[in-house]
Chains A and B, each alone.
Chain A
């Protein structure tokens, strides 16, 4: 949905019904750019917004929130094992067994070129059943008028005593360009709607990026990227522990070709490596039954190549081949005075080697319609890498020395047709498979604070396979865009934790042990809609809707399914002033999964007001923004928030930006 917005920029993605939110106005061209900018302003509600704040406003995205930072993005009704989150096509695995480190925390919005969200059809970048979020990094630009440019921002928010500082500096020459950026965020414990302070919700983090581009020829570029991210204390009020320290280092080297009208129009080759280190911390919690250390590390090395081949005016072929190897390790050491240390592996050392090929063939039989066939095949192999890991898993399995090998097959067809000058429709059907996650395969007494159970993996899990379909209809004129998408899918071998009554818990206070198992199937459906209106007198209206529905094969509601939600905004520009009113509302969610100990979530209404003043002094642009989020101090939470922790209350913010 919202698909037609970037249609001019990349026809293929549009037809495949993806959402592309471009952060950089430069990359969006064409007649709809004004509306695209509106959408961007709509998603990026304030300049201090994090990548997850932006994602949270997108109708396809559900955020699983455990603290004020580090929420996990999910798509539609799909859970975290079913969705891939990538940075510039690179695979990155979190190092936390409790998913406290979603990949989205490593890219700051000022370093984002766009967010590609693929929900329908087959993912070209990796096998999954739920879709892909790909955070595309900004690139340095050669040959700019000014060889040095940059921006600094500073802001404060009242609800968490939150400071935000960021800077960005770019150098641009004829043949090379460098872009650097750094962001520092520090927030205290926030005040929830209605007044209560949420303990252990503070956080502090530092992010920096460096990107260098060198023009080899007119059409070939070489690019090196490095991302650095350190979190020093990140509170998770919904979990029994916080993050003491988290570090990610992400590096890549790319070779890119872009030659319009050439037979091989677009090519990209990338080698990359990344490592994430994660240390949990319970020393700031009262009444800890037993102090423990829980470190984890993930390391991924990979490479991929992509190419788009023009086979004539109406046919195009896109190819991709990729390879990656991920090493994971997490352990837990428990300390009891007077007792020897108790040590165990929570992710026994394991390695996953993945290689895949994908192809998309696009054909336009006439000027009004196009057909896209996409396919992808992945070979996965996961195995334990140390004797300690194999020894430990003898507790659960007969053959911990055997590797888990799975071949994943994916296929989709999309048909798009312009029904009239203003109406367009797209229909997609797909078959997709996904690999069980490392936690689902090897997890060893992973405590899940959502339902209070210890989770244990198993290596004989079958791959989930999904049959998916969706239909969208859009209406667009130069002033109005209306789009609607309805989707449905059935996921066979749906992987869920199943209560094992005879197994004892490990975690003190846990209710029992659940072991991952393939269920019959899960049924999911839902709809999204968007309305964008470029009203008279420089007024813009954006409104998005979503509804999700999911059950298992016995008709029981699936957990973590958000209810109907609407976000609307009205924006008016007068001279140098911009004013915006936002409203967010959700109805109550009564369809809960009792086995996952979900409870009803009441509906809520939340209003925001935003003001901005922009001015220029010589070549420097200044923007001062201010506003109030949760104007009425509503006490609310969303259904996918863990631990029934209320969201921030009334939050007054100011933000000064200066770019040159």
Chain B
């Protein structure tokens, strides 16, 4: 299998590569558009800020390439947020693969003392699609994020932090997860394996 990881100006890309290595899968980190187009599967990871990431992708035409892909694509964390319509993080228009919008956590609406960004392990539920095959409801995943995608028609996993939000999205060949499967122990490894089997 020809597995590509999108290289761009966001952090944490190496971690995804290492996680794949741990389950015995080789991948290529690249921004070569021809390679990405021909890959069997594409992972679009990332930790960082939305507007500078989108600017980087647009300047290189990677934005149009990503939306035109027909093979299975998995966005992780910032990658998933960039696949949405819009992000409140610096008022950024994103790729528009998912209709959902990315919003800042509403701390004022919290009923208890709560911190943003959310850092740590939380549960995912209302799990849909083969991405979560074999995983029980309320499995634990590792999250680090200050913005979240609202619930919508493409939601395939929900997490509660202040309010329920989309911890995973799906449309056609595109999947996105807000948490970090590459850092989510056995649960994360299962999700990566499931994506590779799609």
Whether A associates with B in a native complex is: no
B interface, CB within 8 angstroms of A: none
